[in-house]
Amino acid sequence: MRAVIQRVSEASCKVNGLETGKIETGFVVLLGIEDADTKEDVIWLAQKITGMRVFADENGLMNKALADVNGDILLISQFTLFAQTKKGNRPSFIRAAKPEKAIPLYELLIKTLENLLGKPVFTGIFGADMKVSLVNDGPVTIVMDTKNRDNH
């Protein structure tokens, strides 16, 4: 799994002009799922996202996690995070998981994040043409790949 996590002061997602999710302080998480991903990847990623301390404390240092600031998550599925661009000018998405594999893992991530946060996670619609708007706060953007875990 690949995730691009952006700290935001506000964000929303619309599909066909209808709002599917809207948050203020929190994270927009763009999520790509590949065929090799498992339940263990979901659990690891959810724990990393919810535990990440990138919100300012009283001294302006990045010391607070999502729960400390009562932040929310807007989770957006994005298979293009697995674009391969080595050959030619048209990206290949062959590593991106097909919906029958990706949707259950996406739904498991939503449930796992909700359990860890103790509140709902806002989403787009899997596979839809989504319009995502956000104000990246900082900017703070973190990229994670469950296949490149640093165990130290």
Q: What is the pLDDT of residue 92?
A: 85
Pairwise CA distance, residues 97 & 90, whole Å: 19
Structural domains of the chain ordered from first start = 2-148 (3.50.80.10)
User: pTM to 2 decimals?
Assistant: 0.93
CA-CA-CA-CA torsion sign (26, 105, 107, 81): positive
Active site residue: 80, 85, 123, 146, which one?
Answer: 80
- State phi, psi for 49 to the nearest 5 degrees: -65, -50
Instruction: Output the tens digit of pLDDT for each of the chain's 152 residues.
Output: 999 999 999 999 999 999 999 999 999 999 999 999 999 999 999 999 999 999 999 999 999 999 999 999 999 999 989 888 888 888 888 888 999 999 999 999 999 999 999 999 999 999 999 999 999 999 999 999 999 886 53
| Whether 80 is catalytic | yes
> In whole angstroms, how far apart are CA 121 and each of 59, 92, 133?
29, 30, 17
